[in-house]
Amino acid sequence: MRAILIVALILIGAAPLSAAPPEEAAEVTAHLEFFGYEVTPTDEVLRAVHASNLNIAVKAHRGGMLLLSFLGSKTPAEENRAQLLEFANDLNVNASVSRSYIDKDGDLALEAWFPGTYDKTRFSLFLEEWHRDTIMQRMFQDRI
């Protein structure tokens, strides 16, 4: 039984993540545009650009939506990896809905998962917390 569980976990982990906009792309687009984002749909994501908030990509993910943003660094990740990891950890400690990590390319990533289908009230609350998390990220950004 344990071997079957291990194989199942390996197969689940090995399954490629889908890259598609959320099912409710029209509603999510309208919501983000209301908050001042300029949204461009692609085959893989909704790209949302904002003048003062972090730019985000929104895609369908495991029965909900994943918001993803990347932050650049003043110096290459190879030169300041420890500082980037410390920064990501500080962001995670203070985050409400997001998590920060260093991706395989050495970029600092911020992502948050919104479970279930789009609902105006729940998505508004979620987006408010996302913005709080990203404000925290921008406050600490001068450290990297």
The per-residue pLDDT for 138 is: 63
**62-81 pLDDT per residue, tens:** 999 999 998 766 555 567 77
The continuous run of DSSP H or E covering 56 comes out as strand 56-61
Which among 8, 15, 115 is positioned nearest to 61, based on CA atoms? 115
Vertex 48 angle, CA 47 and 51, to 5°:
140
What confidence category does residue 3 fall into, taking pLDDT thresholds of 50, 70 and 90?
very low
Does the structural domain 18-143 have CATH classification 3.40.50.80?
A: no
Who wins on pLDDT, 4 or 132?
Answer: 132
90 CA to centre of own chain: 17
- Mean per-residue pLDDT for 80-109? 86
From CA 61, how far away is CA 23, in angstroms rounded? 10
From CA 68, how far away is CA 57, in angstroms rounded? 5
**29-58 pLDDT per residue, tens:** 999 999 999 999 999 999 999 998 899 999
Domain boundaries, the chain: 18-143
